[in-house]
Chains A and B, each alone.
With several copies, the nearest count.
Chain A
């Protein structure tokens, strides 16, 4: 149900935990810390993904605990390659039932999904992989800003943000800022208000991920997540203290800033 890489909608993920929304089928190419939290908090029934790790750090321990030990519940997984997921989102955004790529053949990935089939090129006879389009019920992305009409502007590493929005039945954007006019920015993508269902202003809403032009990635947090998430009790305490017990994203930011400051200055 969310975006990619840069501009990860952490604040929206926390709100899902607070509201105890459960039995979700979540989709993301690169589920990382926020998905680890959703999984550990028991919100996830199924995960569709292509790479599930803590980038540059190591494993997602809550994800592993769910897959390896069914804790706190068993989750179903469906995995793909990045290229396959990208083609699935593109097909979804294009209104096509499938996308085509030269991939999957010869790998064991093919055995564990119903959503990749081989087709023949009608001109050359070449066998290619067809992947089923993804059309999420809801996509949530974080973006830099929106104007008052709801047009949303995204720049920097744009990932599959556009495809996530355009493939979804309902698209929600959290943004750093709402402005009167979207000044042009190099490399920016603008999504018109009429393809966005709702915009919420959440400054630093991607933290510990970042929004280019607004914030820096908090690499220390990603490193600190490793020991927290390795232990079920430490994880549960962290979620309780910083997510469940906080009212909103601002309160969350205050809460973790206090907790992590000591450790961070010593790192």
Chain B
């Protein structure tokens, strides 16, 4: 929250991500594989705001976690104690993710490219990286197998690039047909929620195009903060302003007040 009480760009991004999860849960796509950080904040916001609530699944083996405070780590005890079931790590990946039981995979990353591929490995060359990032984690198989992938990332020229320095997780590869040729069972990057607005893959080309802008955001801002020649949807819309209720709940989720 900004000092004047208006939502920050991050708040707007998180609220819109939570709404996206809520929308998916409403159409029966409720199971959500969540990473720590922004995805976890947004997912827990959605869980507290919407009915039916998304079912949160963490790669540490927690199914149906209902944390009352935001976990710092994927291995936070709170996630296990509030889960419907806790399984081993090999099982969560094999029986749950790979088997196609996850509707929504919720990812972040350091770079995202025009075709929705994600880099969380290195900036620069692999042999002599400028920045060594944490690495793949669960992302490659989430990107491969989840029914649809929702990416949450701040939109900057350095992060939104023409082509990732390293393809850690596949969006649409080099274009239409690539996912199928690699035998990936999930739908790929379906929605990218940034601090400026929302991008979606264009039918036919799979290129990410801006489909909605957050209140007060201009097309120029988006162009300036994107490393490829960004295009806008013909029916470019605006996201609804974050409501007081959404913002109040976001504050509670962040502060770890009893949820």
- The answer to whether A and B touch in the complex, with CB atoms under 8 Å apart, is yes
Q: Which residues 26-74 of B sit at the A interface, judged by CB distance below 8 A?
A: 30-31, 36-37, 55, 59-64, 71-74
Q: Are A194 and B55 in contact (CB under 8 A)?
A: yes
When the two chains form their complex, are residues A103 and B88 in contact, meaning their CB atoms are under 8 A apart?
no
Chain B residue with Cβ nearest A6: B75
Q: List the interface of chain B (C-beta within 8 A of A).
A: 30-31, 36-37, 55, 59-64, 71-77, 79-81, 84-86, 88-90, 93-95, 97-101, 121, 126, 129-141, 144-145, 166-170, 173, 178-179, 182-185
Q: Mask for A104-143, Cβ within 8 A of B = 1, else 0?
A: 1111110110000000000000111000000000000000
Contact A157 B93 (CB under 8 A): no
Given A67-B132, A112-B126: A105 in contact with B183 (beta carbons within 8 A): yes
Is A217 in contact with B76, judged by CB distance below 8 angstroms? yes
Query: Which of chain A's residues have a CB closer than 8 A to the CB of B75?
Result: 4-6, 30, 55, 157, 159, 209, 217
- Do A81 and B89 have beta carbons less than 8 Å apart? no
> Interface majority SS on A: helix, strand, loop or mixed?
loop
A-B contact count (CB 8 A): 210
Tell me how far the C-beta of B96 lies from the nearest C-beta in chain A, rounded to whole angstroms. 8
Residue A257 at the B interface, CB < 8 A?
Answer: no
The B contact surface, by secondary structure, is: loop
Size range of the chain A interface in the assembly: 35 or more
B-chain residues with CB within 8 Å of residue A60 when the two chains form the complex? 134
Stretch binding the partner chain, chosen from A16-24, A160-168, A224-232, A258-266? A160-168
Residues of B within 8 A of A106 (CB): 144, 167, 170, 173, 178-179, 182, 184
Q: Which residue of B lies closest to A60 (CB)?
A: B134
Give the Cβ gap from B155 to chain A, nearest Cβ, in Å. Answer: 20
CB atoms of B73 and A55 under 8 A apart: yes
Q: Check A51 against B129 for contact (C-beta < 8 Å).
A: no
| A87–B134 CA distance with the chains assembled, in angstroms | 20
Contact in complex: A86, B132 (CB < 8 Å): no
Chain A residues lying within 8 Å of B179, measured Cβ to Cβ, are 106
* B205 CB, min distance to chain A CBs, angstroms: 18
Residues of A within 8 A of B169 (CB): 107
Q: Does A252 contact B (CB under 8 A)?
A: no
Segment at the interface with B among A172-180, A183-191, A234-242: A183-191
Q: Tell me the bound Cα distance from A62 to B55 in angstroms.
A: 36
> Are A109 and B136 interface neighbours, CB within 8 A?
yes
With a CB–CB cut-off of 8 A, which chain B residues contact A90? Answer: 90, 94
CA distance A57 to B74 in the complex (A): 12
Question: In the complex, which residue of chain A has the Cβ closest to the Cβ of B178?
Answer: A106
- B54 CB, nearest partner CB in chain A, Å: 11
**Of A107, A127, A156, A192, which is within 8 A of B168 by CB?**
A107
Interface contact A95-B30, CB-CB below 8 Å? no
The answer to whether A108 touches B121 (Cβ under 8 A) is yes
Question: Which one of B72, B136, B138 contacts A222 once the chains associate, using CB atoms below 8 Å?
Answer: B72
Is there an interface contact between B88 and A108, defined as CB atoms closer than 8 Å? no
Indicate if the CB atoms of A86 and B89 lie closer than 8 Å: yes
A197 in the interface, Cβ–Cβ < 8 Å?
no
Contact A83 B138 (CB under 8 A): yes
A194 and B74 CA atoms in complex are apart in Å by 23
